Amino acid sequence: MATVAANMRDEGIDVINFSVGEPDFNTPSHIIRAGKKAMDQGYTKYTAGPGMIELRNAICDKLLNENGIKFEPDDILVSNGEKQSLYTACQALFEKGDSVFVCTPYWVSFPEFIKLADAKPIYVNTISHQNYELDFDDLLDKVQDNVRGIIINSPSNPTGGVWSKEAIIKLLKIAKNRNWVIISDECYERLVYDGGFISTEKLNRDYGINAMVLTCMSLSKTYAMTGWRIGYTAGPRQIIKAMSKLQGQATSCANSIGQMAGIKALRGNQDCVEEMKKEFKKRRNLMVSLLNKLPGISCAMPQGAFYAFPDFSVYLNKSVEGKLLKDTFDISEYILQTVNVVTVPGDGFGSKGHIRFSYATSPDTIEKGIEQVKFALENII
Ligand SMILES: Cc1ncc(COP(=O)(O)O)c(C=O)c1O
């Protein structure tokens, strides 16, 4: 959809884009200045493979002060974005013959990371009216002897759902009993609008469960730093060591300038994070209220990230301009072709009937775009 939209833009068409997966703000200026200074001071070379010690120390301080979890620098691996962290974790942990649980709807890369490790994803349902928490009955029904782990993502892309403490504790206990690793993707940890965020590993330790947890985090969304490519993993030292060996052969180390800027991001003033979060919350409220006014559409209030995930299933198998809308790919394409609004079909996330709307865009754009979608939907019979 993004490619089609880019082509339309090239043709001079005014496209409204609700497909963005990154903050629309620029990186805060004090972080940019740190990146410029790093270059001037010659931090333009390879760094230590697992990441500069100054950055790993800053990450340990952050994990202790913000998340209440104590780690040593040797428990941390800095990567070129959290995407590399997750990919490397799957490469280090899984192999042919293994199965790994993925919660549906899922971020599109999770099943691919598992398949690239020659393992098999098993899709497990979540409960849409319960913040997309795991459906534990479905999980237990699908258990096999060769399951090695599960990837979880709260707050979630694409649903914005945030799991309760109880759901995470329940999963931690099951994982401990069955010797599964939990890969906890927490890249949207700082974008939780109602209530607080608790890291999976924090609950693991507080409740003495002692399951194997890999915590994957990122500077991308928190500090609007998607292009700087800095993410990291915190977890059991032997896994971090194996991941570090693999990463060393793949990409040597993370980008040196990004690492220096990352130190500033983590150690510097955090007001910028709160300001962006405040703005996202306003936009979330606007987006969800407008979506709920569309004919036949219902949209649950997402508690985190910057995505709304409304239910468009009333439009499935209806016709427009002689064409049958058989899935959300068809609905999203129809909306794009008719009113130039880009959305992301839920079928791509393993979810039939839903469509993802990113609200990482201005309130004016949200109002204008949803008005256009309303116009498009009125023609469907
Ligand atoms: C759920 C999820 N995990 C991980 C990432 C990767 O983030 P990074 O920019 O740190 O590679 C994204 C980016 O969109 C994401 O949505």
pLDDT tens for 84-108 read: 999 999 999 999 999 999 999 999 9
Atom of ligand 1 nearest to the CA of 230: 10
pLDDT tens for 190-227 read: 999 998 999 999 999 999 999 999 999 999 999 999 99
Widest distance between CA atoms in the chain: 63
Cα 307 to ligand 1 centroid, rounded to whole Å: 13
Protein residues whose CB sits closer than 6 Å to any atom of ligand 1: 21, 81-83, 107, 153, 157, 185, 187, 218, 220, 226, 231
Cα 40 to ligand 1 centroid, rounded to whole Å: 29
Cα 23 to ligand 1 centroid, rounded to whole Å: 12
β-strand partners of 304: 192
Give the per-residue pLDDT at 29. Answer: 97
Give the per-residue pLDDT at 75. Answer: 98
Q: In the chain, which residues have pLDDT < 50?
A: none
Give the per-residue pLDDT at 39. Answer: 98
Q: Is 313 exposed, middle or buried (0-12, 13-18, 19+ CB in 10 A)?
A: middle
Cα 228 to ligand 1 centroid, rounded to whole Å: 13
Give the per-residue pLDDT at 60. Answer: 98
Give the per-residue pLDDT at 380. Answer: 87
> How far, in whole angstroms, is CA 368 from its chain's centroid?
26
- Ligand 1, atom 1, residue with closest C-alpha: 157
Q: Best of 82, 190, 229 to mutate for ligand 1, by most ligand atoms within 8 A of CB? A: 82
Give the per-residue pLDDT at 89. Answer: 98
Atom of ligand 1 nearest to the CA of 153: 1
Cα 251 to ligand 1 centroid, rounded to whole Å: 18
Give the per-residue pLDDT at 2. Answer: 76
pLDDT tens for 288-328 read: 999 999 999 999 999 999 999 999 999 999 999 889 999 99
Q: How many CB atoms lie within 10 A of CB 7?
A: 11
- Ligand 1, atom 16, residue with closest C-alpha: 157
- Percentage of the chain lying above the pLDDT 90 cut: 95
Distances (CA, A) of 314 to 319, 324, 326, 357: 12, 13, 11, 17
Q: Integer distance in angstroms from the first to the last C-alpha of the chain?
A: 24
Q: How many CB atoms lie within 10 A of CB 108?
A: 14
Apex 299 CA angle, 298 and 305, nearest 5 = 170
In contact, 25 and 276? CB cutoff 8 Å? yes
Atom of ligand 1 nearest to the CA of 80: 11
In contact, 16 and 372? CB cutoff 8 Å? yes
Give the per-residue pLDDT at 310. Answer: 97
β-strand partners of 311: 298, 354
Cα 324 to ligand 1 centroid, rounded to whole Å: 34
Helix (H) or strand (E) holding 196: none
